Structure 1
């Protein structure tokens, strides 16, 4: 499946009042190579294994495969991951026909808040909330795989 996604910095925490859901996420990388990231994630009470391919030139589209796995297995796999497990809370906010996923990072990435929106096409338009800032879609340092080895606090 091809994932089409855009990323933005978040200007303030006013988005929290609009959230209809929030979950704690712990995720690590078995491989953080851009050509094939292999991610293990625990989101709330569910575990996932995700493989993503390299992004296209715009940075918006890439192959993604995801499978739900038992949380116990996800916890075991997190122990095998590369250094730098990501710790964050994901807030989900509905805006028009879309859902923004806003990640507030902790630990080594404390202070970083990034919003993502999945689209059906790269040309699709959407309503931007007032708390959305600069677009960082094609800037590698805002990808979680990069943040796991090059945390925000070191920038």
Structure 2
């Protein structure tokens, strides 16, 4: 069974390294609990099912399809429970782990987060200088992608 142990943080944007080539992700949700999401990555679509465990780890099952037509992509967009989010993802290796930096677009413009997947619950994290280790947002529901689809980062000041 695939288990995911992930920690998510805010970043010091001014200290970010050169990010190079990123991958555009269009992400929407078909169900919230368990989380069933789709990601459109060019002509590939990934479907992921995730379920949170009480210890903070998550069950994760993922499958993908290549050469997805525009019609199929548009149907997925129509099926989404709420507006999709768009982001550019960059992968940055550091100290034996890979940090995924998400630079959000459109309604979430201005938000940049970074997450790291750990091999075990007790694995130590060596933080790069651009990670705000005091701003872990792993369990802050505002930053969950499905919530960013429902209430975008740029709308937070309105509440």
SS at match of 2:5: strand
Out of 54, 64, 68, which is 2:60 matched to? Answer: 64
1:52 matches 2:64:
no
Aligned equivalents of 2:41, 2:124: Cα separation in 1: 28
Preserved contact between residue 27 and residue 86 of structure 2 (Cα < 8 Å): yes
Out of 33, 36, 51, which is 2:34 matched to? Answer: 36
Return 5+ residue gaps in structure 1 as ranges. none
Aligned equivalents of 2:73, 2:122: Cα separation in 1: 35
Aligned equivalents of 1:9, 1:55: Cα separation in 2: 23
- Which aligned segments of 4 or more residues in structure 1 are displaced greater than 2 angstroms? 13-16, 43-46, 54-57, 70-76
Question: Shift in Å at residue 93 of structure 1?
Answer: 0.2
Aligned to 1:124: 123
SS at match of 2:127: coil
Q: How many residues align?
A: 150
Give TM-score scaled by structure 1 length.
Answer: 0.88
1:114 matches 2:113:
yes
Query: Structure 1 pair 131/45, CA: closer, same or farther in 2 (3 Å)?
Result: farther
1:101 matches 2:100:
yes
Query: Structure 1 pair 21/121, CA: closer, same or farther in 2 (3 Å)?
Result: farther
How far does the alpha carbon of each residue in 1:10-41 deviate from its partner, in whole angstroms, 9 at most, with x for none?
Answer: 11154341x4651011011111x2x3111010
1:22 matches 2:35:
no
Root mean square deviation, CA, Å? 1.7
Aligned equivalents of 1:154, 1:92: Cα separation in 2: 27
Higher mean Cα deviation, 19-28 or 87-96? 19-28
Give TM-score scaled by structure 2 length.
Answer: 0.86
Larger Rg: 2
Question: Shift in Å at residue 56 of structure 1?
Answer: 2.7
Aligned to 2:82: 83
Question: Shift in Å at residue 75 of structure 1?
Answer: 4.4
